[in-house]
Structures are given as C-alpha cells and as structure tokens.
Structure 1
Amino acid sequence: MRSRKLTCASINFIVVLLSQSVHSQLQVGFYGNSCSLAEFIVKDEVRNSFFRDQGVTAGLVRLHFHDCFVRVSKRAKLLIHVTLGCDASVLIDSTPSNKAEKDSPANNPSLRGFEVIDNAKARLEAICKGLVSCADIVAFAARDSVELTGGLSYGVPAGRRDGKISLASETLTDLPPPSFNVDQLTKFFSNKGFTQEEMVTLSGAHTIGRSHCTSFSNRLYNFNGTTNQDPSLDAIYASQLKQQCPQGNTNPNLVVPMDPSSPAITDAGYYTNILANRGLFTSDQTLMTNAATANQVSQNARSTMLWRSKFAAAMVKMGQLDVLMGNGGEIRSNCRVINS
C-alpha cells in the first residue's frame, strides 16, 4: 500500500512539473523578434470585424473558451489523462472520415468568428510564413475582443502550437451545458484546474453576446412535471423572452442577447441580472443557490473594475491549459486544415 501511494505521489509531482514547464515557456511578446507585427495584425482584423458586427467579439471569446476546454488524450508513460487545450482544434474543418469539434451540437451553430481567424492567419502567413500558430491567434483575438468591448487588456503569453486532432465527440464531455447546476459547474471547472471563484468569474463572459432560444427554452415552456416555467426566472423577463422565443418556433437561428441592457459591453451587468433573477441560463441563475457563489455574484455586481481585473487574470490562466509546445503539434498554414 505504501509503495502504491508513493507511486501516485510521484506521478502527481511529474504532472505538476510538466505543467509548470509548459507554462514557463509561454512568453508575453513571444513574436517580438520573429514576427513583430503578429499581435497588431490580429487586433486589426478583430477591430475591422467589430466595426462591421459588434457581436463577433463575443464569438471570439467563446471560440477561445471552447478551444481551450476540449481535447483529451493519454500520456501513455504516466497512464493518466490530461487535457490538451488551446491548440486551435476547434478551427479544424470536418472531413468525410471525421466529424470535427466545430460541427458538434455544442458548437454548431453557436460558434462564430472563424473568418476573423482566417483573415489574420492569411495576413500573417504572407509576412511571417509558418511562424504564428492558429492557437496563439485565437488567444490574441479573445484578448482583443475583451478590450474592444470595454474590458481590461492583458498580456497574452504566447508560443502555443497547433493540435492535429479534432473530434466532435469530445465536446460532449469537455464543455459545460447551460443546464448545469452550481455543484456540477464547480466540479467541472475544478477538473480543469479552476477554483469555484474563477468559475464564477469566467461565467461573466455571458455579459456579451447572444444565445439561441433552444439553449434556454425549457425554462420557459417545459421546466419540469410540476411547472412549465422556471420559478427562479423573473416573471417580467420570462414574458419578454417568450415574445422573442415563441413556443413551438422551429427557427434554429433565433437568438436573444444574454445581457439585454449592455449586450456589447464587457461589464458587470451579467451579475446584476442574476441578482434580479434574470440569468438567462440555468447555469447562470444557479450561482445564487450557493452561499459562496452568491456572495461572489454580489461582489462582482458592486464593482465592475474588480470583476474585470479577475476576468483578465482568469483568461490568462485559461489560455495556458496544457498547451502544445516545442516539438508538439505543428504550425498550421491554414487554420482549418491539418498540414499535409
């Protein structure tokens, strides 16, 4: 028994060292010498797209989240499973023999912003061929989106490489559904290395963007066997949502803003909505069912700057989820296709 415990401790220690080693190699300003215009070009593409469609920024933040939280593989020598996130696997197109992440029900049709990444990559390949990874472009674009919508800018440690595998099936277990309760969310984020407070902080990304009616319509019309409407949902807000999302509507593209008061501004409106029982998803309003998370919701609602600061730090941490480095992966020439 003692030998087994020592073996497990050794494995955990090795995993920690591997994680620290990977993170220590990521650098803010990574392309300063090799491709000095890299971050400028990405920001320029994000800004141009934002001026045409303000909603694209929320899409790019979501793209980064869905990239970082998906891709599980096995390190055979350690006989453990670790997440390989932030490897641009979400950008890979499906093929006749493989259904990729972007075409899973969790991502399609909700993800957007792919064309922004494509445009930035094309410009970068023209001046810095084979140097800037798609994974880094996604991370830069998310940061720029936060900044453009009023959030705090932050330095993005870069040096990621791109993955070669993208499986739609992995999104089923590696992305939290909008139906999760607070305990499920806490466990999910903990498995990814985040504290409960960081979970509440990152949930604030719902302050920008929109949602398809199908993601929350069960709260309006088919909540449970006792009541059709979720009793935790503010009645006036529910009435407004029903007008926007009529029962029986078959249009899969029908959407509503997640934060109606400021859908294109990265502010604390998300938390104010939850305090007023106007969290759009079950996974939003559930934060009020736990004393600790409810207190964090209140704190964030009182201070937009406090939340913006915590959100920037959490985004940096998320962007370093077991990234590919060194000889791992590749630098794709086309973000949608694995190099031949």
Structure 2
Amino acid sequence: MIGRRTLGVALAGFTALAALSTVAHAADDWRKQVPVFRVGILGGENEADRLKNYACFKEHMESRLGVPVELYPASDYAGVMQGLISKNLEYASLGSSGYAGISIQEPEAVEPIVTTEQVDGSLGYYSVLYVRADSSYQSVEDLKGKTLAFADPNSTSGYLVPSYELKQQGYTADKFFGKTGFAGGHEQGVVAVLNKQYDAGVTWTSGVGDEAKGYSRGNLRKMVDKGALDMKDIRIIWKSNRITNGPVVVRKDVPQELKDLVRGVLVSLPLEDRPCAEAVAGGKLNGFQPIGHDFYKTIIEMRRELQKARRG
C-alpha cells in the first residue's frame, strides 16, 4: 500500500509535471499564433540607418522570443500605423500622436507597454523650431510670411504639438507662414532647411544634455552622431512644452505571454546592451519604463481637436 506521504509526493510530482506540460503547451500555442514577430520602424531617417540601429534589437528579440523577427522600415508614420491596425505588424515604437491616431481610429488595435525614461528621469521631450544659424531669424515673429517644414502629418513633435501650441500663441500655421509642407521625416526636414528649401523646420529633442552634441537624445543627436549635422549650423528659436515620450506598442490581440516577454527584453536591454538600447532609443536614456493608455490622454484629445479643426 502506498503511504499518504508517498502518495502526496507522487501527486505533487504529477501536478508539477502537468504544470510544466501546460507551460510548454502555452508556449507552443503562442508561437503557433505568432510564428514571426514583425517590427515596424517609423520613417524619419534613411532606411539603411534605421535597419542598422535595429539590427542588435532584432538579435536580442529572436534570442528571447524563440521566433524569427522581421524588420519593416516604413517610408512614413502612416505605414507603420496601418500595419498595426491591419495586423501586418506585431510591434512598433510610436510617437504619442501616432498612438493617439490609432487609438481614435481603432481603440482595440494596440497596447502601450513601455516608454523611454530620459537621462534626467523625465518621461518627456520637446518639439523645437529651428532655422539656419546664418539667417536673420531670431524669433517666431520674424518668420511671418516665411516657409516652415513639418516632419510628418502623424508626428507629435514634427506636426501635432507645434501646430497646436503655435496656434495658441497666435501663430496659426496656414495663416502666419507663407507656406508650410511636410519634408517626409525629421532628418529630411533639417536637410531641407540647411539646403534653403525651407526657412525653418520643427523636430524633436530631449532638451537635456550638451546642446553642441544635439542634446542627449533625439533627431538632432542622431544627426550629429553620424556626422550629418553640426549644431553650429542651426539656431533653435522656439521650444514647446514638454511632450509625453511615445510608447512602444504591441498589438492588443497577441498572447499575454508574448507581451510580457517583449516588455522584459526592453526593460533589461539598457543593462544587458546599453549601446543597443541607445541605438533604438535615438540617444542616451536611463531606461524603459512600463506605461499605460492613460499617460497619453492629453495628446489624444489634442489630436481629436486637430481633426475637428480640419473638418471644420
């Protein structure tokens, strides 16, 4: 006869085996649902640089997830947004406005999992308006009737926030400036201003750190680091209020285990491979912090207002 203690041990063993089997089965299940993890990369700089910056991230993700990771650099922000909505992508790092746009169009499409923490501990950054350093423009007022390059219609710092805040300050873009246009991305906007195709442009920056190096993080920092910009060639004449750092999102319908694994990779990445984390984040950072939908409510309402104004 089997004693109670022996039977208890045996039952515990069977329970543990069953639990392990369940975990293994669950793992198999999510990998069957998501056999390839597809990552959308926003436009804003040339495709080769974007793929180079994400190469290490791809390796880390493949190692931890155990499935192939494919990178999809889009020509603009809308391409990534539609890729997520249409379920052709599982993951992307978005700006706040891009996330707001998806949330308004398809509330159940994506879920924010982390955002970037700046070197000063904040979870925000800034939009800045810049001109050539050798121009005569010293303030926004000096740009009346001049030309302004926005980055992308779905960019937070490259369109939504500067449009909204400049209007609040009495500079309605389509009335104050002689012409506005979209450069096709943040880097392209800076190049267009340097080449005198536009008098001014807007882009994003952490706003902290060494200005001569393009600050700690942002488009200016990325351009300085790769030798595409000398900060002496531009002058910043306007800065927005602080903007919420954009979220890393995954599709809301992917398995929770996958979401948890992806969040874990990102949170640990600055500790395991800081150069890789900085390449993905676009400069120096403290790390990645878990975040939720409520963090972006202000930007969502701002985008709603902009859409209403357009329809009006």
TM-score in terms of structure 1 length? 0.27
The structure where strand makes up a greater share of residues is 2
TM-score of the two chains, using structure 2 as the length reference: 0.29
